[in-house]
Amino acid sequence: MIDAGNSFFIILIAGIAFFHYGMGLASQSIEKLLANRITQLMTKISDNNFLSVVVGISLTTLLQSSGAVTSMLVGLGSAKVINLKQVMGVIIGTAIGTTITVQLISLNISELALPIFALAFLIYFQTKKPGVKNTALAFMGFALLLLGMKMMGDSARHFSENPMLADFFQSLRNNPGYSLMISIVFCSFVHSSAVTVGLAMSLASAQAIRVEDAMLWVYGANIGTTSTALIAAAGSNYIGKQVAWAHFFYKTLSVLIFYPFTQGFVQLLMSFDTTPARITANAHLIFNVISAILFFPFISKGAEVIQKMFPKGPQDEFGTDYLKLNNYQSSALATSYANREIMRTADIVSSMIHDSLKLFDGSDPVLLESIKDRDNKVDFLYRETKMFLLDHANKSNVAVQQNILSMIMFISDLERAADAIDINITTLAIKKNALHLEFSPEGWKDIIAMHTAVTKAASLAINAYQNKVLCSEAIQLKRELAKLEISLREAHISRLNRGMKDSINTSSIHLDLLSEYRRIASLLCNHAYSHTKHKKE
């Protein structure tokens, strides 16, 4: 048994570790439960600022980490899926969402930690369902969080009794700036504002520090938690940096506004509740709610200011990564680098094929714009790679020229496949959504089957371009896809003969979509015929 009187530092560190690990376990388990729904939700954030705030509160409450949500925003920004204005409301919402965990741990329910953990542990080992297992893990994480808070509280009582530490905390009271800096550094180190505020609550409850000092820890926690996103943005593009620094400036300005009123603010809260833990938790909540109210009307203006501070630089413009005309003396080296650009192009086309089915789920302007942007990138890479290859073809022998011709033909087919999605398939989707048409359940199932087959065929065809051994398999898969299209057309005609209304209304869209998908697969498999004995059909 631990001698609490002599080992309170160990208990404190273990408490912080339990708290931090429990929060991480709960967060990861909930994220697994939600799977990719979180990312899908983030990518569908509209320009409705209030909705964005609600999304920020909800996600942070579920994941129990504003840093995790903000880092996710940085990642989506780096991928150019979102822009700063869309997520400014989410950033404000994350600040409020992180207070929920602090409110829970301030209720002094730590005696429930072991029963919750024991029950969740039993459920985890008795079930085989992944969803139930992740739910049990989330509760086990929450129980560890409560246990860690109890350990921090128990150890904190010894701080006020230790003469050396009492002098240290006295110096902090005399120099408020030290408390602020220590809390910022501590929060940056543990990457959790809840852990930082929880420790401040324990110290205040043990009377090692005053409630006013705990409020400074609240300020420090709010600034320190921005370090997670700032670190994530270090290697990102301009949008990722904008998101991270917007989070930092929002938190810092909120602290600067509140700091002069700290004494009066704490006194006001003490008139409602005299428990140090509750006062600190309520201060954390009210601080973030008032900050959100103050900054909410200025979301658009704030986004404009941040965008000017971190503008789009030349390095953020889309371009070729490997092609430099006249820089390669060896034709073999030049074609090798050109192949890398061709595979970049193939990756973009693959993503367009994968996302094309989502166009028919409902009107999504963001996805339409993303498809168009990706098609423009394919056009750019096609043009630049073709010019590069033609330049080197004039300096090469016949064998290299033939290889270059094959490369140009493949990237040309990639560009035509991208156009088929951007022009033809998006037109079909816009028509369907504008007329509020719905495929029949059987028809939609057939389209999904066709899309799955095309995605598989496209992937194999692209791999076959790099590994010629797969060319015969790619051609065979393309032939099977052609047979699938015929059978799906016959199934559709059968539904028309049965007079199914949905099938009649969407008939032209349905048949044209099947045709476009088959055409895309054919385009991507064209190169395979030159490496086999098969004759092109």
Per-residue model confidence as pLDDT tens digits over 215-234: 998 999 889 888 877 887 77
- Measured CA distances, 334 to 120, 339, 377 (Å): 59, 9, 21
Quickly state the pLDDT bin for 395 (edges 50, 70, 90).
Answer: low
| 431 or 312, which is more confident | 431
What was the pLDDT predicted at 391? 78
What was the pLDDT predicted at 459? 92
- Mean pLDDT, the chain, rounded, equals 81
User: Distance between CA atoms of 342 and 339, rounded to whole angstroms?
Assistant: 5
136's CB contacts (< 8 A; 6+ apart) are: 120, 121, 123, 124, 127
For the chain, domains (ranges, CATH) are 8-314 (no CATH), 331-531 (1.20.58.220)
CA angle 291, 293, 294 (to 5 degrees): 65
Provide mean pLDDT across the span 113-119: 88
Q: How far is CA 38 from the centre of its chain?
A: 8
pLDDT at 242 over 90: no
Per-residue model confidence as pLDDT tens digits over 257-298: 998 988 888 888 888 767 888 888 888 889 989 998 998 888
Four-point Cα dihedral 190, 207, 217, 187, nearest 10:
0
User: Distance between CA atoms of 507 and 438, rounded to whole angstroms?
Assistant: 11
CA angle 105, 111, 116 (to 5 degrees): 85
**Helices (runs of H) and strands (runs of E) counted in the chain:** 24, 0
Token pair, residue 406, equals 């094959």
> Are 458 and 349 within 8 A, CB to CB?
yes
Length of the chain: 537
What was the pLDDT predicted at 77? 65
Per-residue model confidence as pLDDT tens digits over 93-111: 888 888 887 887 777 777 7
| 25 or 245, which is more confident | 245
pLDDT at 535 over 50: no
Q: Identify the sign of the CA torsion 300, 302, 303, 309.
A: positive
Burial 276-297 (b: 16+ CB within 10 A, else e): bbbbbbbbbbebbeebbeebee
Per-residue model confidence as pLDDT tens digits over 185-220: 888 887 778 788 888 888 888 777 888 888 998 999
What was the pLDDT predicted at 147? 84
Per-residue model confidence as pLDDT tens digits over 414-440: 999 999 999 999 999 999 888 888 888
User: Distance between CA atoms of 226 and 95, rounded to whole angstroms?
Assistant: 10
What was the pLDDT predicted at 411? 92
What was the pLDDT predicted at 460? 92
Supply the DSSP symbol for 324: -
Quickly state the pLDDT bin for 81 (edges 50, 70, 90).
Answer: low
Write a three-state SS string for 198-258: HHHHHHHHCCCCCHHHHHHHHHHHHHHCCHHHHHHHCCCCHHHHHHHHHHHHHHHHHHHHH
